[in-house]
Structure 1
Amino acid sequence: MSQSLTDFSDLIRSVRESAVHLEMRDAYGVENEIEGFAAWKKGRRLNPDDRSSWWRPWLDLVQEVTAKGVVIRRARIVSEPVSDYIAFEHSGTFTNVVAGEQIRWLPRRMTSDLALPGNDFWLFDGRLVQFNIFDGAGRWVYTDQTEDPAVAAHCASAFDAVWERGIPHEKYTV
């Protein structure tokens, strides 16, 4: 299924209690990050004191939704040593935290005994799962959604296991 940014924003806004996101790739080829990643590789870093230079629409949305009491948690499973992309992602994650997301990192070596879905996903209010399907280069291809209770329960269990073991962003170093 194809999904626009507006559709996804509307979906996030419809959440009543929680949205959890599990990321399991070591690199993403997301179009809107290509320029920032290239600048980061050349030494550019975000300045936490210059909010206007890094605030973006996603952060507005997170702040809007969390202000209504919705909990947004993101867990990232990463290989170590981390890829350049993960180091880039880590360096800018403080922006997500400032907006209201809770974020944890889990080294892949600590996940061998976990039953994990094959794709990254969002789980909304414990009932709607959205799988994000990427190609081998990390480019988003399409989205699958399901409200199958067994799939939602599996994703919730997987996320909770990763979250429990995960290291809070402010304590995880790359």
Structure 2
Amino acid sequence: MPELLSFDSVEHLFEDFQHTAWRLETRRGYASDRQSEEYRRFLRGEDATRDLSDPWYASRRKQTAQGKRFERVRLVDTPPTKGQLYLLHSAQFNIAAGEDIRNMYRSHARRLGLPDFDFWLFDSRILIKFHFDDDDHILGVELIEEPKQVVRACQARDAAWHHAIRNEEFKARVFSPG
């Protein structure tokens, strides 16, 4: 098992990067989401909005106004899990803060040979690989700067980004009748 760091120990990368922070999300759900009141409201069909004045969103708006990019591709099963439906819903808040979020069916990701793990890629040179337990709790992250692994992550990013569908269009497909 590689040395795992706490996510808090790498959070500075979200401020320090120069150009692009890119994420691949492969999980069928996240424990952190399931533990939130917003998630429970979503499951009950109630209003599940977020406070866009929150410092995290404010920071993203400030950075994207400076020309930095936050991008994500999320893998979605057929049919989507409750956790994935929640992410399709909650993406609107990240998008309002300046992120570009796209989605892809897991079957398509497999055909493309995309990794089956979550990661953040900063400026195409620093890779943060997530490790989860079986209940979707983050165990820690690996900080990887080894060029071969970073290049593989860049290749995965390029393939995923090329084939992924913008969130609103994907969401419309998922929720359209028939």
Q: Determine if the TM-score, normalized by the shorter chain, exceeds 0.5.
A: yes
Closer, same or farther in 2 for the Cα pair 1:166/1:33, shift >3 Å? farther
- SS of 1:93 mapped into structure 2: helix
Q: 1:22·1:75 contact (CA, 8 Å) conserved in 2?
A: yes
- SS of 1:92 mapped into structure 2: helix
Percent sequence identity over aligned pairs: 27
Deviates more, 1:97-106 or 1:58-67: 58-67
- SS of 1:119 mapped into structure 2: coil
Counterparts of 1:154 and 1:148, CA distance in 2 = 10
Q: CA RMSD in A?
A: 1.8
**CA-CA distance at 1:95 after TM superposition:** 0.7
Are 2:43 and 1:41 aligned? yes
What is the aligned partner in structure 1 of residue 85 from structure 2? 87
Give runs of aligned pairs for residues 123-142 of structure 1, distance below 5 A.
123-142=121-140
Are 2:22 and 1:24 aligned? no
AA aligned opposite 2:21 = A
Q: 1:133·1:140 contact (CA, 8 Å) conserved in 2?
A: yes
AA aligned opposite 2:129 = F
Q: 2:33·2:39 contact (CA, 8 Å) conserved in 1?
A: no
**CA-CA distance at 1:85 after TM superposition:** 1.0
What is the aligned partner in structure 1 of residue 159 from structure 2? 161
Q: What do the CA deviations read for 1:115-166 (whole angstroms, capped 9, x no partner)?
A: 3234200000000000111111111110101101111110011111111111
Counterparts of 1:31 and 1:82, CA distance in 2 = 15
Q: 1:23·1:75 contact (CA, 8 Å) conserved in 2?
A: yes
Q: 1:46·1:54 contact (CA, 8 Å) conserved in 2?
A: no
**CA-CA distance at 1:32 after TM superposition:** 8.2
Number of aligned residue pairs: 168
Q: Which consecutive aligned stretches of 4+ in structure 1 deviate over 6 angstroms post-superposition?
A: none
Q: What do the CA deviations read for 1:37-86 (whole angstroms, capped 9, x no partner)?
A: 11211112345xxxxx5323321221122122111110001111101111
- TM-score, normalising length: structure 1: 0.88
What is the aligned partner in structure 2 of residue 50 from structure 1? none
AA aligned opposite 2:6 = Q
What is the aligned partner in structure 2 of residue 12 from structure 1? 14
Deviates more, 1:162-171 or 1:7-16: 7-16
Stretches of structure 1 that go unaligned for 5 or more consecutive residues are: 48-52
What is the aligned partner in structure 1 of residue 51 from structure 2? 54
Counterparts of 1:10 and 1:32, CA distance in 2 = 25
